[in-house]
Amino acid sequence: MTAFTNIRLNGVSFAFGTHTVLNHIDLDIQPGSIVALLGPSGCGKSTLLRLLAGLSTPAEGEIWFGDRLVAKAGWALPPEARDIGMVFQDYALWPHMSVAQNVAFPLRMRNVPRKAREERVMAALNRVGLAEFAERKPAGLSGGQQQRVALARAIIAEPAILLFDEPLSNLDSALRESLCHEMAHLLRQLGTTAVYVTHDRREAHWLADRIVHLASGTVESVHTVTPSAGEIA
Ligand SMILES: Nc1ncnc2c1ncn2[C@@H]1O[C@H](COP(=O)(O)OP(=O)(O)OP(=O)(O)O)[C@@H](O)[C@H]1O
Ligand SMILES: [Mg+2]
């Protein structure tokens, strides 16, 4: 397991052309904590996540993972060099690959030998309750099952940081709640630092230690969640 990593954003700004989407964001995310980014549509949640992933480059500011600078104005370390896992709303599975091949992909990229790869794939599929579906193609799975595959793929290389962009919003309400609790349990077992984008307050409360409210490209407030008391200021 990778050592727990904190995430720090110092004065991070981002614009699409003349449209400023993120305006001097400062954020400190503790190692091993789960932070939900909450806010209305268009407030910049996905943009912030893409900056954390290395899919976009900040116009201003710095992003640090532990003592490693991963982005600064005009420069970004690419995603594959960041030790991250990602889960998106649309699952983003490769349709021509089996469940096992999808999950194995990050290990292939790291040249993990086949035997070790197969063992780790089965361990990851067991963790998400999908061992019996290893040879199936994604099209033969339900939405919830597909998202479990995406989750297994995100965790298999034991990344220091996991990034989620509305992973449950394509699922019905009951499934969303049960899978959200499962993911919270899994993330706490793994101890991975996680940033979870959602516009669903309930998901944020089920899952996160802290909730960061974004509004119009700035951090409006940060709340701590305690399991018994709910969200407190
Ligand atoms: N590729 C793009 N080109 C231009 N503007 C963009 C692009 N992507 C996003 N935007 C704009 O940037 C702003 C922030 O978008 P972003 O996707 O980060 O919002 P969001 O908070 O994730 O919203 P949602 O909850 O709807 O997913 C929006 O005003 C959006 O229209
Ligand atoms: Mg979004």
Listed range (41-50, 51-60, 119-128, 218-227) with the worst mean pLDDT:
218-227
231 or 49, which is more confident? 49
Last residue of a domain, one of 158, 176, 204: 158
**How many angstroms separate the CA atoms of 25 and 42, rounded?**
16
pLDDT at 208 over 50: yes
Tell me the CA–centroid distance for residue 40 and ligand 2, in Å: 9
Mean pLDDT (the chain) is 92
pLDDT for 115 equals 96
pLDDT at 229 over 60: no
* Full residue range of the structural domain in which residue 103 is found: 90-158
Q: Kindly identify the ligand whose nearest atom is closest to the C-alpha of 40.
A: 1
Is the distance from the beta carbon of residue 43 to the nearest atom of ligand 1 less than 6 Å? yes
Q: How many independent structural domains does the chain possess? A: 2
Mean pLDDT of all residues in 115-120:
96
pLDDT at 52 over 50: yes
Same domain, 186 and 74: yes
**How many angstroms separate the CA atoms of 206 and 204, rounded?**
6
Same domain, 173 and 146: no
pLDDT for 228 equals 57
Instruction: Quote the tokens at residue 124.
Output: 């990851």
Is the distance from the beta carbon of residue 16 to the nearest atom of ligand 1 less than 6 Å? yes
pLDDT for 72 equals 98
Same domain, 154 and 169: no
pLDDT for 1 equals 46
Same domain, 123 and 199: no
CA-43 nearest atom, ligand 1: 21
pLDDT for 84 equals 94
Q: What band does 216 get if pLDDT is binned at 50, 70 and 90?
A: confident
Q: Kindly identify the ligand whose nearest atom is closest to the C-alpha of 200.
A: 1
Is the distance from the beta carbon of residue 44 to the nearest atom of ligand 1 less than 6 Å? yes
Same domain, 119 and 17: no
Is the distance from the beta carbon of residue 76 to the nearest atom of ligand 1 less than 6 Å? no
DSSP the chain: -PPP--EEEEEEEEEETTEEEEEEEEEEE-TT-EEEEE--TTSSHHHHHHHHHTSS--SEEEEEETTEEEEETTEE--GGGS-EEEEETT----TTS-HHHHHHHHHHHTT--HHHHHHHHHHHHHHTT-GGGTTS-GGGS-HHHHHHHHHHHHHTT--SEEEEESTTTTS-HHHHHHHHHHHHHHHHHHT-EEEEEES-HHHHHHH-SEEEEEETTEEEEEEEEETTTEEE-
Last residue of a domain, one of 125, 158, 191: 158
Tell me the CA–centroid distance for residue 47 and ligand 1, in Å: 6
Residue 183, domain CATH: 3.40.50.300
Same domain, 132 and 24: no
Same domain, 224 and 174: yes
Same domain, 102 and 170: no
Tell me the CA–centroid distance for residue 41 and ligand 1, in Å: 8
Same domain, 102 and 163: no
**How many angstroms separate the CA atoms of 181 and 179, rounded?**
5
Same domain, 154 and 166: no
pLDDT for 136 equals 97
**How many angstroms separate the CA atoms of 98 and 117, rounded?**
14
pLDDT-above-90 percentage for the chain:
82
Condensed to tens digits (0 to 9), the pLDDT of residues 67-116 reads 999 999 999 999 999 999 999 888 889 999 999 999 999 999 889 999 99
Atom 24 in ligand 1: which residue has the minimum CA distance?
41
Same domain, 104 and 219: no
Last residue of a domain, one of 120, 135, 158: 158
Mean pLDDT of all residues in 40-58:
96
Instruction: Quote the tokens at residue 116.
Output: 């070790």
∠ CA 125-109-127, rounded to 5°: 15
Same domain, 123 and 79: no
pLDDT for 3 equals 64
Mean pLDDT of all residues in 6-14:
98
Residue 182: φ, ψ to 5°: -60, -45
